[in-house]
Amino acid sequence: MQVPFSFFVENLIRRVHLEDTQCQIRLNSCFIISENLWHWKAFEITRM
């Protein structure tokens, strides 16, 4: 199932406020990766 990119952005931003610096570092590294892979990375982050 393809989830809108904006959903990941909103969800990640929300989690960054709740999680520790580790999540912030992971989030930053995700942004420099291609969009398709970023979707997968975002899914892995939101699952944690």
Domain coordinates of the chain in residue numbers? Answer: 12-47
Identify the pLDDT of residue 45.
Answer: 61
**Using 50, 70 and 90 to split pLDDT, how confident is the model at 37?**
low
Nearest-angstrom CA–CA distance, 14 and 37: 20
Distance CA 36, CA 39 (A): 5
pLDDT digits (tens, 9 = 90+) for 1-32: 566 666 667 776 666 555 555 555 555 555 54
pTM here is 0.26
Distance CA 17, CA 11 (A): 10
Residues in the chain: 48
